[in-house]
């Protein structure tokens, strides 16, 4: 059990603030100090009582014989249901077994009996995080940190929760605090790498995964993270080497199969990409991203019905996965099912209203339904989010022409041309607007540019 002597607790909330300020200054300057590692004490040791069931449960837990360990914990609790360590051990075992709701109940029971049980607090925070109850999880990790300021597991957990809450900068600070107290904590380095990748800070993300691998060379998670970062940097041969390290250790690791699929997709090798996404799903049928990526490839191949089925599988697993709603909507548009597409775009935008592609797609659905004012509103929302989105400017020109607002249609076409001068459709929109304005000479010049770009000149 984690040591709970007075010298391990923060003297005050100000002390914790001082540590945070110190860490933030070091992170900004790049001089994060490498202090002596803080020991991470292993899970619950055998109790000092004569409860043999508890001792046997702990032995089985350490051997990862989880179902047998749970039987022994239940027997121990029948003998003494006020044993906080038994409830804590039961929770840890259930958590390792993927039983997060049950683990949460066990940790809560342990904390009723001993509110300052650090491992149970960390376990409860982790269980809440796994159940997507992230604000509650954050409160629990903060409580653990107030009890023990250098509790690296709580700082690491807090970082993971902040990342899930969409606060990546604050998450980085939490991981850096964990690494201040224990620079040998591979998990914190790996988590930091994931957040830095999310922020597109690829060099620092790569450095973090390298740090994690220096501490745990056999972790498929860190090798996969390294491969993912290298792939997004366009360094495909190096990414493939990292992914090979994963598959040498675990030939069925689904995220790596998906990562290789992403590289093949970027190289326009659609059949190879599809094969790897399907391999990922063979390894893990619950891998939402693999269903979504498979759907994208199928849509690119023109198989929109199968793509739609794949998006549906993703959404069965996670109703709040916005990319799958966007993809489903796009496939429905291709199948001319515009009312259903509108509903899917609306679902996507409820989850994340800041995706310009979704607003542009919603505009397309409205356009095909003949609702031009609503289409225009959707295109303008897309452009407010991304003023350099040439497709939305093109579509705006198209719908303004339908609304007989020809001067504005011409302005939108000119802006689309400025953003994407090599797209003949943008020049065609300009020609159409100029014709409506009876500026025939300029219209002929725009049409000549269309022909040149299409190779017809």
Assigned domain for 206 exists = no
Assigned domain for 9 exists = no
Yes or no: say if 176 and 23 are a contact pair by the CB < 8 Å rule: yes
pLDDT of residue 39: 34
Please provide the average confidence, as pLDDT, over all residues in the chain: 89
pLDDT of residue 192: 98
| Confidence grade of residue 51 (pLDDT, cut at 50, 70, 90) | confident
Helix axes 406-419 and 424-436, enclosed angle (nearest 10): 160
Assigned domain for 293 exists = no
Yes or no: say if 10 and 149 are a contact pair by the CB < 8 Å rule: yes
Q: Report, as an integer, the average pLDDT of 364-393.
A: 98
The model's pTM: 0.80
Q: Report, as an integer, the average pLDDT of 335-363.
A: 97
CATH label of the domain that carries residue 148: 1.25.40.10
pLDDT of residue 331: 98
Q: Is residue 90 predicted with pLDDT exceeding 60?
A: yes
Domain of residue 106 covers: 51-182
* Residue 11 backbone dihedrals phi, psi, to 5 degrees: -65, -30
Assigned domain for 93 exists = yes
Assigned domain for 40 exists = no
Q: How many domains does the chain have?
A: 1
Assigned domain for 165 exists = yes
Q: Which residue has the higher pLDDT, 221 or 12?
A: 221
pLDDT of residue 457: 61
Yes or no: say if 194 and 204 are a contact pair by the CB < 8 Å rule: no
Residue of 72, 94, 68 whose CA lies nearest to 83: 72
Yes or no: say if 331 and 295 are a contact pair by the CB < 8 Å rule: yes
| Confidence grade of residue 29 (pLDDT, cut at 50, 70, 90) | very low
Assigned domain for 62 exists = yes
| Confidence grade of residue 158 (pLDDT, cut at 50, 70, 90) | very high
- The total of other beta-carbon atoms located within 10 Å of residue 4's CB is 12
Strands in 309-360 per DSSP E = none
Yes or no: say if 56 and 72 are a contact pair by the CB < 8 Å rule: yes
- Contacts of residues 164-168 at CB distance under 8 Å and 24 or more positions apart, as own/partner, are 164/129, 164/132, 164/134, 165/134, 165/135, 165/138, 168/195, 168/198, 168/199
Q: Which residue has the higher pLDDT, 15 or 166?
A: 166
| Confidence grade of residue 443 (pLDDT, cut at 50, 70, 90) | very high
Yes or no: say if 246 and 256 are a contact pair by the CB < 8 Å rule: yes
Q: Report, as an integer, the average pLDDT of 113-137.
A: 94
Q: Report, as an integer, the average pLDDT of 46-57.
A: 71
Yes or no: say if 140 and 160 are a contact pair by the CB < 8 Å rule: no
pLDDT in tens, 182-207: 999 999 999 999 999 999 999 999 99
Q: Is residue 13 predicted with pLDDT exceeding 60?
A: no
| Confidence grade of residue 400 (pLDDT, cut at 50, 70, 90) | very high
pLDDT of residue 203: 97
CA atoms of 65 and 94, how far apart (whole Å): 11
What's the token pair of residue 166?
A: 């969409």
Yes or no: say if 346 and 359 are a contact pair by the CB < 8 Å rule: no
Assigned domain for 253 exists = no
Burial class from Cβ neighbours inside 10 Å (0-12, 13-18, 19+) for residue 14 reads exposed
Yes or no: say if 252 and 283 are a contact pair by the CB < 8 Å rule: yes
CA distances, 200 to each of 194, 197, 205 (Å): 10, 5, 8
CA atoms of 114 and 177, how far apart (whole Å): 27
């Amino acid at each position: 059990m984690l040591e709970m002597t007075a010298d391990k607790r923060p003297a005050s909330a100000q002390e914790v603030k001082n540590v945070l300020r110190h860490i933030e200054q070091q992170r900004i300057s790049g001089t994060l100090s490498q202090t002596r590692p803080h020991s991470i004490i292993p899970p619950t040791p055998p109790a000092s009582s004569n409860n043999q069931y508890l001792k046997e449960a702990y032995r089985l837990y350490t051997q990862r014989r989880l179902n047998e360990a749970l039987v022994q914990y239940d027997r121990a609790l029948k003998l003494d249901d006020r044993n906080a360590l038994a409830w804590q051990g039961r929770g840890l075992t259930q958590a390792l077994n993927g039983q997060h709701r049950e683990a949460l109940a066990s940790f809560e029971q342990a904390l009723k009996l001993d509110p300052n049980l650090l491992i149970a607090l960390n376990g409860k925070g982790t269980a809440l995080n796994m159940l997507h109850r992230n604000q509650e999880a954050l409160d629990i990790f903060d409580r653990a940190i107030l009890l023990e300021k250098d509790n690296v597991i709580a700082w690491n957990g807090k970082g993971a929760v902040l990342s899930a809450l969409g606060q990546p900068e604050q998450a980085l600070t939490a991981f850096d605090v964990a690494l201040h107290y224990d620079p040998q904590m591979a998990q914190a380095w790996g988590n930091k790498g994931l957040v830095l990748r999310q922020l597109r800070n690829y060099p620092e993300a790569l450095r973090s995964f390298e740090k994690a691998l220096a501490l745990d060379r056999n972790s498929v998670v860190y090798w996969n993270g390294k491969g993912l970062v290298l792939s997004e940097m366009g360094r495909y041969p190096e990414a493939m080497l990292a992914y090979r390290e994963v598959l040498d250790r675990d030939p069925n690791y689904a995220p790596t199969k998906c990562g290789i699929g992403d590289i093949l997709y970027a190289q326009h090798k659609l059949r190879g990409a599809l094969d790897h996404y399907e391999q990922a799903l063979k390894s893990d049928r619950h891998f939402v991203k693999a269903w979504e990526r498979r759907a994208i490839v199928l849509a690119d191949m023109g198989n929109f019905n199968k793509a739609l089925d794949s998006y549906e599988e993703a959404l069965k697993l996670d109703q709040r996965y916005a990319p799958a709603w966007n993809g489903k909507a796009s496939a429905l548009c291709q199948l001319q099912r515009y009312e259903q597409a509108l509903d899917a775009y609306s679902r996507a935008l409820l989850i994340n209203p800041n995706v310009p592609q979704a607003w542009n797609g919603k505009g397309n659905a409205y356009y095909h339904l003949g609702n031009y004012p609503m289409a225009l509103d959707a295109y303008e929302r897309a452009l407010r989010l991304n003023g350099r989105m040439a497709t939305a400017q093109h579509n705006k020109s198209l719908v303004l022409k339908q609304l007989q607002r020809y001067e504005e249609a011409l302005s939108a076409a000119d802006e689309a041309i400025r953003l994407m001068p090599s797209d003949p459709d943008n020049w065609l929109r300009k020609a159409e607007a100029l014709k409506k304005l009876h500026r025939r000479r300029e219209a002929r010049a725009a049409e000549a540019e269309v022909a040149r770009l299409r190779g017809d000149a």
